[in-house]
């Protein structure tokens, strides 16, 4: 808003006679980022004026003219032809100013009757976030479905499983995929819960105290596809918990994406060689021509910090705001919009990465080592009635014996050596040293056996409604 703009042209200007500081106008303006909500702002006005017409505060002819003007403005925004002017401090001001130009201020001046920018922006935000989260839910569902299909197709690939980044026990590659698909499915469930919780209407609460003309808030909520109304007008205009929840969800999701990315970065390294990334999601080195860098995954990992920071920053803005609406709340939009856009791009990039990478099953299986079957060796004795704590110690002695005799693995111990360690070993002990049988023994729910993995994947599909 320009310093020389007449005060009466501002939505709030009647109280003021002096010019404002141009820097203050810039500092106060939010149109550069809240114009993202143009469609939601126009829809809120369309429905709100329907409520005014029901009260007899505008005529049917005036309502028709208002709606005609709103449709023109919507098309102008969609086509990029909307002309922003000095004084358009936010999307609400811009749309109302343009409506007045199209249908005259005598009619356009009535659309704000009983309404405040406090309940208007709260409504716009909920509508916008609801729309964006539904879109994210669709993208996330596609990512999970892509992972499930890959896991089903490559279910026979075996690889080392890790704890402390040390080889631990053999697992299926599909079991690893299922792990992150499980994380992302929980994210998907949480996302839909947030959509449900935020889908209540603040419209019709005015600045803070409620509506002076008794507008039918339930009617407004139904027309805007809300599930109900916020029951307290003070809370309605000042609540930003749905913003915090969305940003927390975004942070948790990006935490999962970061861990997913870190695993794949490790697996794509020369030392591991379990996977090869597609060229579309890699870059080269400006100096070393042999390099193929996993930049897509590194960016996914790095952008998690950006989203975490958005949440932390807004929480600090929000924590000491007194009731009800305060201008600090304008700080909700930039970090929220940035977080949602970052998450959207991250989901799409992750989907591209997982759908195009090439697993190297030979390298995976070549990385399996017999020491990873030490637990299976302990289990062998358990099945013969030996207490596990005792078998754990015995298996450790076998590992040490193999190392002391410079053997390549515990399977290279002779029957005599096994008997020396414990007389309960028998000739069938050598059947223990089979990686496929090792994974197939773990067939309880959640395990790495083929049947268990298939059960996991089917459960995920059920959750997604597939």
Quickly count: other Cβ atoms within 10 Å of residue 454's Cβ.
15
Catalytic site residue from 164, 286, 320, 406: 164
The number of CA neighbours under 13 Å toward the Cβ of 322 is 0
The radius of gyration of the chain's CA atoms, rounded to the nearest angstrom, is 31
Strand partners, 259: none
Determine the 3-state secondary structure of 406 from DSSP: coil
The partner residues of 201 in beta bridges, in order of sequence, read: 229
Report the distance separating Cα 229 and Cα 215, nearest Å.
13
CA nearest neighbour of 120 among 310, 329, 314, 319: 329
Cα–Cα separations (whole angstroms), residue 404 to 326, 371, 391, 401, 413: 72, 14, 20, 5, 11
SS (H, E, C) 157-204: CEEEEEECCEEEEEEEHHHHHHHHHHHHHHHHHHHHHHHHHHCCECCC
CA atoms in the 13 A half-sphere facing the CB of 195: 17
Residue 322 DSSP class: P
Rounded to whole angstroms, how far apart are CA atoms 225 and 195?
12
Catalytic residue among 2, 269, 285, 451: 285
Rounded to an integer, what distance in angstroms lies between the CA atom of residue 438 and that of residue 426?
18
Q: Which two tokens stand for residue 141?
A: 């569902």
For residues 242 and 236, the answer to whether their CB atoms sit within 8 Å is: no
Cis upstream peptide for 324 (omega within 30°): yes
Residue 2 is a catalytic residue: no
| Helix, strand or coil, per DSSP, at residue 208 | coil
Torsion sign over Cα 109, 112, 113, 116: negative
Angle formed at CA 321 by CA 318 and CA 324, multiple of 5 degrees: 115
Helix (H) / strand (E) containing 19: none
Q: Is 453 exposed, middle or buried (0-12, 13-18, 19+ CB in 10 A)?
A: buried
The answer to whether 211 is a known catalytic residue is no
Catalytically annotated residues: 164, 285
């Amino acid at each position: 808003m320009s310093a020389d703009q007449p005060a009466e042209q501002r939505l709030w200007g009647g109280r003021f006679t002096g010019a404002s500081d141009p820097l203050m106008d810039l500092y106060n303006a939010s149109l550069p980022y809240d114009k993202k909500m143009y469609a939601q702002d126009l829809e809120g006005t369309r429905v709100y004026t329907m409520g005014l017409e029901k009260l007899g505060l505008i005529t049917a002819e005036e309502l028709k003219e208002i709606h005609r003007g709103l449709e023109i403005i919507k098309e102008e925004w969609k086509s990029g032809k909307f002309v922003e002017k000095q004084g358009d401090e936010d999307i609400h001001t811009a749309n109302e100013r343009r409506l007045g130009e199209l249908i005259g201020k005598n009619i356009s001046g009535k659309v704000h009757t009983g309404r405040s920018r406090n309940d208007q922006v709260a409504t716009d935000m909920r509508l916008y976030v609801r729309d964006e989260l539904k879109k994210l839910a669709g993208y996330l569902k596609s990512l999970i479905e892509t992972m499930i299909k890959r896991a089903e197709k490559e279910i026979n690939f075996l690889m080392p499983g890790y704890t402390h980044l040390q080889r631990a026990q053999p697992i299926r590659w599909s079991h690893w995929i299922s792990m992150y698909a499980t994380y992302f499915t929980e994210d998907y469930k949480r996302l839909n819960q947030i959509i449900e919780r935020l889908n209540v209407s603040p419209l019709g609460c005015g600045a803070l105290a409620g509506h002076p003309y008794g507008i039918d808030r339930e009617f407004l909520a139904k027309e805007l596809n809300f599930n109900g109304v916020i029951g307290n007008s003070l809370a309605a205009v000042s609540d930003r918990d749905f913003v915090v929840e969305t940003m927390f969800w975004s942070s948790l999701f990006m935490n999962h994406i970061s861990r997913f990315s870190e695993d794949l970065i490790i697996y794509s390294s020369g030392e591991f060689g379990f996977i090869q990334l597609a060229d579309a999601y890699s870059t080269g080195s400006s100096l070393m021509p042999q390099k193929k860098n996993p930049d897509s995954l590194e960016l996914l990992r790095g952008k998690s910090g950006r989203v975490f920071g958005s949440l932390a920053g807004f929480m600090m803005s929000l924590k000491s705001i007194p009731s009800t609406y305060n201008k600090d709340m304008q700080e909700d939009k930039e970090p929220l919009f940035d977080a949602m856009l970052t998450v959207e791009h991250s989901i799409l990039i992750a989907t591209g990465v997982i759908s195009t990478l090439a697993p190297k099953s030979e390298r995976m299986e070549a990385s399996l080592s017999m020491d990873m079957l030490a637990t299976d060796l302990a289990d062998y004795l358990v099945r013969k009635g030996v207490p596990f704590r005792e078998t754990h110690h015995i298996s450790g002695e076998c590992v040490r014996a193999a190392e002391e005799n410079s053997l390549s693995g515990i399977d290279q111990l002779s029957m005599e050596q096994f008997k020396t360690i414990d007389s309960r070993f028998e000739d069938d002990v050598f059947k223990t040293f089979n990686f496929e049988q090792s994974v197939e023994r773990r067939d309880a729910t959640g395990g790495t056996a083929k049947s268990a993995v298939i059960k996991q994947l089917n459960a995920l599909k059920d959750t997604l409604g597939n």
